[in-house]
Amino acid sequence: MIGSIDRFKFRKIRYHGQDKYALAIVDDTLKRLEMIGFSSDILKNVDGYLKRSKGYLSGLQEGKSEIVLCELLNNASRRISEGKYDDAVARLYRAFELIAQIKLREYGLDDLSEEKFTLGDLEDRSIDVEKYKDCADEKGKLKLGLKKKFELLKDLGWDKVKGIYLDNRRIQGLLSKRNESILAHGLKPIDKKSAIDLFSEVEKIAKNMVKDYDELKERGKFPTL
């Protein structure tokens, strides 16, 4: 189950040769633990972890964006600890984009489903649509890149957007290393310091956006036996 979560398979997960939902696996395991009793500290740790994780796993299955954001950061942290810095930064880049998408949803603009918001939706909010027209498909649905998402948030009136991204040279530089990495468009491997620095910057923003961030992130950590 842990391997499937690390691969973002939050819904059906391979378990004993079958595709099962994560919560079904948790419930099944808890019942088995109750049957055999808690004869060791290891079993007690597993039981405690599963009980804490039920709500978190439910949020992942339902695609709750704030919980997915916490999972991306946990996932990136694990990659850093394994020395997989390119992998970590790829996840952090996605987490940073998700922050913009979460904020857009607060303005009533859904960028996290197939529906997508349209040029008409921007016009309804008195946004000058000229600079977004080249991002629209034939139905007017918008597919914005990272920078455009944050520019739109500025146009919508989010007062923190300049400090978070548009005028933040530090985070722009760290994010650009993802584009230059071998897992994106370049050939440069990402170093440990860059991965750690980007993690710190993204987590700082996530903490300000997600209620009970520290608690949620702790629930999503893998157990230490």
- Quote the radius of gyration of the chain (alpha carbons, Å): 20
**Per-residue pLDDT tens over the stretch 130-171:** 999 999 998 889 999 999 999 999 999 999 999 999 999 999
Separation in Å, CA 12 to CA 59, 156, 167: 14, 37, 41
Closest CA to 71 of 46, 53, 49, 50: 53
CA–CA dist 198, 176 (Å, integer):
11
CA–CA dist 55, 32 (Å, integer):
20
- With 0.75 as the threshold, say if the pTM is over it: yes
Handedness of CA 207, 212, 216, 217 (dihedral sign): positive
The residues that bridge with 18 in the sheet, in sequence order, are: 15
**Per-residue pLDDT tens over the stretch 10-68:** 555 544 445 545 555 555 555 655 555 555 454 455 555 556 666 677 777 777 899 89
Separation in Å, CA 13 to CA 21, 204, 218: 6, 31, 22
> Tell me, what's the pLDDT at 4?
47
Separation in Å, CA 56 to CA 76, 132, 214: 17, 36, 13
Q: Are 75 and 6 in contact (CB under 8 A)?
A: yes
